[in-house]
Chains A and B, each alone.
Chain A
Amino acid sequence: QQQVKQSPQSLIVQKGGISIINCAYENTAFDYFPWYQQFPGKGPALLIAIRPDVSEKKEGRFTISFNKSAKQFSLHIMDSQPGDSATYFCAAGPGGYQKVTFGTGTKLQVIP
């Protein structure tokens, strides 16, 4: 019930392409869905987050799409750049101060 499944495990995208990472959750009590970006040797940093009252949220080149009925959400990175190369984690939680459950991570490599 607490799991968050993430795919793919790794992704190679050409510069300028679209990177797409997918996640699925089971717990219907989850109400907050953040994406974290992690560079080697650093802690996760919040990239963008969504709540289930909207189906899409866009911030710059990053877009979250959310499908509440399917219990799935995805991150799209438009015009991917080499500087986007990092590990991306989706997460989900009840919201507020409560813990988030992380997905297994996607290692993205953007090649020039």
Chain B
Amino acid sequence: EPEVTQTPSHQVTQMGQEVILRCVPISNHLYFYWYRQILGQKVEFLVSFYNNEISEKSEIFDDQFSVERPDGSNFTLKIRSTKLEDSAMYFCASILQLRQETQYFGPGTRLLVL
């Protein structure tokens, strides 16, 4: 069964450094999301992306964050200058089409900012 993949599975970085988290959504999916989950807390929406532009973003998704679909397969989340509070599990998700609601989640990237 097709699945969403994410790399790396774990990332450790120093505060202030830039990180790029990568996702490969399911190949024919059209709509993409990033969510994050701080350890022991609920899953929080960050941003949704369709047709090469941001559809919606949360208040968490400030100027330090950006998303890109550089080559038609990868979907990336960049954090420009990481803060300690960015430490979390980051999940990518995708859906097949606009009317289909089932979001397929990747396994996540655990980001630790020191």
Partners in one complex: yes
Given the contacts A95-B101, A97-B95, A98-B56, A42 and B50 also touching, CB distance less than 8 Å: no
> Quick check: which of A55-63, A70-78, A99-107 contacts chain B, the rest being far away?
A99-107
Check A46 against B103 for contact (C-beta < 8 Å).
Answer: yes
The number of inter-chain residue pairs (CB within 8 angstroms) is 61
Check B98 against A96 for contact (C-beta < 8 Å).
Answer: yes
Check B42 against A43 for contact (C-beta < 8 Å).
Answer: no
Who on chain B is nearest to A6 by CB?
Answer: B42
Residues in A neighbouring B33, C-beta threshold 8 A:
99
Check A96 against B107 for contact (C-beta < 8 Å).
Answer: no
Check B42 against A104 for contact (C-beta < 8 Å).
Answer: yes
Q: Is A45 an interface residue (CB 8 A)?
A: yes
Q: Contacting B91 at CB < 8 Å: which of A43, A97, A98, A104?
A: A43
Check B42 against A46 for contact (C-beta < 8 Å).
Answer: no
Q: Give CA–CA (A47, B43) in the complex, Å.
A: 16
Q: Is A16 an interface residue (CB 8 A)?
A: no
Q: Is B25 an interface residue (CB 8 A)?
A: no
Main secondary structure of the interface of A (DSSP, over half): loop
Residues in A neighbouring B101, C-beta threshold 8 A:
32, 34, 49, 93, 95-97
Interface string of B34-59 (1 = CB under 8 A from A): 01000001111100101000011010
Who on chain B is nearest to A103 by CB?
Answer: B42
Q: Is A25 an interface residue (CB 8 A)?
A: no
Residues in B neighbouring A42, C-beta threshold 8 A:
107-108
Q: Is B31 an interface residue (CB 8 A)?
A: yes
Q: Which B74-113 residues have a C-beta within 8 angstroms of A?
A: 91, 93, 95, 97-108
Which residues of chain B have a CB within 8 Å of any CB of chain A? 4, 31, 33, 35, 41-45, 48, 50, 55-56, 58, 91, 93, 95, 97-108
Which residues of chain A have a CB within 8 Å of any CB of chain B? 32, 34, 36, 41-46, 49, 89, 93, 95-105
Q: 6 closest Cβ contacts across the A-B interface?
A: A43-B105, A102-B43, A99-B45, A97-B98, A104-B42, A102-B42
* A–B complex contacts, Cβ < 8 Å, 10 sampled: A42-B108, A43-B93, A43-B108, A44-B105, A46-B104, A96-B101, A97-B97, A104-B41, A104-B42, A105-B41
